[in-house]
Amino acid sequence: MDFVEKVFNWMLVIGLVLLAGRIMTAVFLFLDVPFTIFFGYV
């Protein structure tokens, strides 16, 4: 049961990260902000 919980937690974390990435992408496209400028500062 412990193993299943770990796998589920990892899937949840990865899913949240991908979701955050998608939201950021949508915001950038909506605001017409080039990706290169943003990643240049990071």
Condensed to tens digits (0 to 9), the pLDDT of residues 7-42 reads 999 999 999 999 998 888 888 778 876 666 556 655
Q: What is the pLDDT of residue 15?
A: 93
How far, in Å, CA of 34 to CA of 32, rounded?
6
Q: Is the pLDDT of residue 6 over 90?
A: yes
Q: How many domains does the chain have?
A: 1
Q: What is the pLDDT of residue 31?
A: 81
- Of the candidates 24, 18, 16, 14, which has an alpha carbon nearest to the alpha carbon of residue 35? 24
What residue numbers bound the domain in which 34 lies? Answer: 2-41
Q: What is the pLDDT of residue 25?
A: 81
Count of positions (residues) in the chain: 42
How far, in Å, CA of 28 to CA of 34, rounded?
7
Q: What is the pLDDT of residue 30?
A: 81
